[in-house]
Amino acid sequence: MIKVTVDGEEVEVPAGATALQACEVAGREIPRFCYHERLSVAGNCRMCLVEVEKSPKPVASCAFPVMDGMKISTDSLVVRNARRSVMEFLLVNHPLDCPICDQGGECDLQDQAVAYGGDSSRYRENKRAVPDKYLGPLVKTIMNRCIQCTRCVRFSTEIAGVPELGAVGRGEAMEITNYVEKALGTELAGNLIDICPVGALTARPIAYMYRPWELAKTDSVDVLDAVGSNIRVDSRGPDVIRILPRTHEDVNEEWLADRPRFAFDALKRRRLDRPWVRRDGQLRPATWREAFEAIAVRLRGVPGERIGAVAGGLADAESVVALKDLMTSLGSANLDCREDGAAIDASRREFYLFNTTIAGIEQADALLIVGSNPRLEAPVLNARIRKQVMNGSMTVGLIGPEVDLTYPHRGLRDGPSTLAGIANSRFGEVLRNAKRPMILVGRGALARPDGAAVLAGAWDLAQSLNAMREDWNGFNVLHRSGGQVGALDLGFVPGERGKDLGAMLNGGVDLLWLLGADEIDPGLIRPGTFVVYQGHHGDRGASRADVILPGASYLEKDGTYVNTEGRVQRGRRAVFPPGEAREDWRILRAASEVLGQPLPYDELGAVRERLVAVNPVFAGVDAVPRAKLAGGAPAGQGALSDTPFAYPITDYYRADVFGRMSDVMAQCSAERYGAAAPAMAAE
């Protein structure tokens, strides 16, 4: 540590710290445009000028390393005049279109011009004009406003790993451009909007729709992938206007993937807003009482072993535990939350968690990815892997079809047989020599006939590498959705003599209750099975239903979710569900009354007490309890197949019900993959 004096106050900072960091330790606010703590230092906006003793001129604090005994002034006359001059230059060509700019009211340039700029301008000439660039359906550009801070260039190159932006020209002719005019090829494009300090990059889907002071802000969590990114939902009246990331260093840092950010327009498309009952082969509107009675009539005389339930990947823990309790009261042990048929052993938590934790990726020095494409399955987590790789601290190997992960990796053979022989390969030597090796198993590797053998093989490999110790657990399963781990924690899997998903679909039950299970092919359900679909969109599950119960989406209810690392988080209601739709656990509570098996809770607090009673991990919100290593391995039978792995997501933008219902995601899919938008039911 070294000592630095800032405005007469002595502070201690680590060796190698910059003057800007020293000023922040001292509690001084330093204006900046180009500097961002997660990006490389550019030092090109000069707004962060400070005065250093014995320096002939002000210095850019973001790029100036401090030395022991250095004295810094942040508010001297020299600094004030320097900042005013810099601001005057920045505004020379910046248009005065604040009244129509979507960034108005939350613009760094506006705020700092008022705080640090002068009270008049000497500029009288015409401002320059810069043509706008096309960056795709998500990011709108008004390049006249650009101040060449290069944050977007550095983000796309360093964080997203897609170096498609850069600068051309010099001086007044300098422009930020994407070289070839096409959509950005990254799943993190929306973060460019957040880091732009002016209105040059804004959100195209919601352009000219809002002012920030009109919006109600609700803190919540995302469930469209298993990272559990912390988000802020901005709404106006009954409408969600935008979704922004919240900073959580251990989960998503300050980034958010594009599908969770922009797919909320699905809330207005093909929603289920009233109960439906199939009569004479046609689905017809019904009251809640009629829908529940139709289920009760069908259940008469049906034994518990002929009743089954499937929970979808977006279901909150409250609704999952309510459905489990209802099925138990009806005498059924036919439960499954693995819509993809993944061979996951739910007997111990460490068998299905990302045990390293998301933040723990930055401690690993070797990674073997088995049957997963984290770039599409969890873009924010993939960015964390890329950061560690680009720091030179991690070597990555991939067992699966070759894909662009945005970072260098060794492509191994694409079949599970490679897993069996990896220990004797060159990359096996890399894993053995690593101090903190990781193995990442994707859901696609487990949703196969030999999925149980793959899981057991990956576990055995981790043990042979000494990757599971008291101080380090390198065995990881990467899930796809935010509700999958919570359902596993609640034991929503076949009980004693219970049937799994395959058996239930193949005629093993007479009544099948689907709780938001939209990833199941309805054609696999045996004809004659009575299907109750409870969900929020008229998607795959609803197409086969005999009774439809309209539920609420994750943005329309208070819910508990567990991310892929086992972190319990709470989502909060931002808007109300449409029409007669209700929260899912309340629907199940009302149904249980009509079915003659009333559930013993009426309030959300009581349901959450039930969660803790079923599994104590739900008592620790925003915590990742470390599982104690015990003996034994996941149950795995059979031999590894030679069939190559297949990734579960091929079209990132349509990977879930929100993506399939979103018009914005349809545009992105057409731009990226050339896919046509799906036809509406009426078409």
Distance CA 212, CA 203 (A): 13
Domain shared by 376 and 447, yes or no: yes
HSE (side-chain half, CA atoms, 13 Å) at 539: 26
Residue 221: beta bridge partners? Answer: 230
Query: What mean pLDDT do residues 9-33 have?
Result: 94
**Containing structural domain, residue 328:** 276-345+484-619
Query: Do residues 511 and 427 both lie within one domain?
Result: no
Within this chain, do residues 200 and 299 fall inside the same structural domain, yes or no?
A: no
Q: Is the pLDDT of residue 679 over 70?
A: no
**402, 529: one domain:** no
Q: Would 293 be classed as within a structural domain?
A: yes
Helix, strand, coil percentages in the chain from 3-state DSSP, rounded to 5: 35, 20, 50
Per-residue pLDDT of 631-662, as tens digits, reads 778 887 778 888 899 999 999 999 999 999 99
Model confidence pLDDT, tens digit, residues 564-596: 999 999 999 999 999 999 999 999 999 999 999
Domain match, 389 and 328 both: no
Residues 517 and 567 in one domain: yes
Q: Based on the structure, what is the number of domains in the chain? A: 4
Q: What is the CATH number of the domain that holds 548?
A: 3.40.50.740
| Residue 366: predicted pLDDT | 95
Which residues lie below 8 Å from residue 55, measured CB to CB, with a gap of 6+? none
Query: Could you give phi then psi for residue 147, rounded to 5 degrees?
Result: -110, 15
The CATH number given to whatever domain includes residue 28 is 3.10.20.740
Residue-level pLDDT at 641 = 85
CA distance 233 to 262: 11
Assess whether 27 and 71 both reside in one domain: yes
- CB contact at 8 A, 324 and 315: no
Closest CA to 563 of 609, 633, 617, 493: 617
> What per-residue confidence (pLDDT) applies to 372?
95
Q: Of the ranges 122-131, 205-214, 427-436, 609-618, which one carries the lowest mean pLDDT score?
A: 122-131
Give 65's pLDDT tier (boundaries 50, 70, 90). very high
User: Is 28 among the domain residues?
Assistant: yes
675: in domain: no
CATH code of the domain in which 359 resides: 3.40.228.10
- 458, 473: one domain: yes
pLDDT at 681 over 60: no
Both 566 and 614 in one domain: the answer is yes
- Element of type H or E holding 559: strand 559-562
Q: pLDDT per residue over 4-14, tens digit each?
A: 999 999 999 99
Pairing of strands 511-515, 307-311: parallel
- 461/542 same-domain check: no
% of the chain residues with pLDDT over 70: 98
pLDDT at 678: 52
Q: Which helix (H) or strand (E) holds 335?
A: strand 334-336
Q: What is the CATH number of the domain that holds 130?
A: 3.30.70.20
- For residue 192, tell me if it sits in a domain: yes
Distance of CA 112 to the CA centre of its chain: 32
Within its chain, how far is the Cα of 610 from the centroid? 27
CA distances from 304 to 281, 500, 593 (A): 26, 14, 17
Residue 680: predicted pLDDT: 46
Residue 49 neighbours by CB distance under 10 Å: 25
What was the pLDDT predicted at 386? 97
Rounded Cα distance between 362 and 350, Å, is: 20
Higher pLDDT, 636 or 396: 396
Helices and strands counted in the chain (H then E): 21, 28
**Do residues 328 and 388 share a domain?**
no
381: in domain: yes
Mean pLDDT of the chain: 93
Is 247 within a domain? no
pLDDT at 18 over 60: yes
For the chain, give the percent of residues with pLDDT over 90: 86
Confidence class for position 228, pLDDT limits 50, 70, 90 = very high
Last residue of a domain, one of 577, 601, 619: 619
Asked if residue 396 and residue 288 are part of one domain, the reply reads no
Which pLDDT belongs to residue 654? 95
Which tokens sit at 164?
């498609």
Q: What is the pLDDT of residue 676?
A: 59
Q: Would you say residue 187 has pLDDT above 90?
A: yes
Distance CA 320, CA 608 (A): 11
Domain boundary (208, 236, 262) is at 208
Domain assignment present for residue 682? The answer is no
Q: Quick one: pLDDT at residue 191?
A: 97
- The domain boundary residue, chosen from 208, 223, 252: 208
pLDDT for res 311: 97
Closest CA to 64 of 4, 153, 145: 4
Is 630 a domain residue?
Answer: no
Question: How many of the other CB atoms lie within 10 Å of CB of 612?
Answer: 12
- In this predicted structure, the answer to whether residue 206 has a pLDDT above a threshold of 70 is yes
* Bridge partners of residue 71, in order along the sequence: 5
Mean pLDDT comparison of 107-121, 138-152, 635-649, highest-scoring range = 138-152
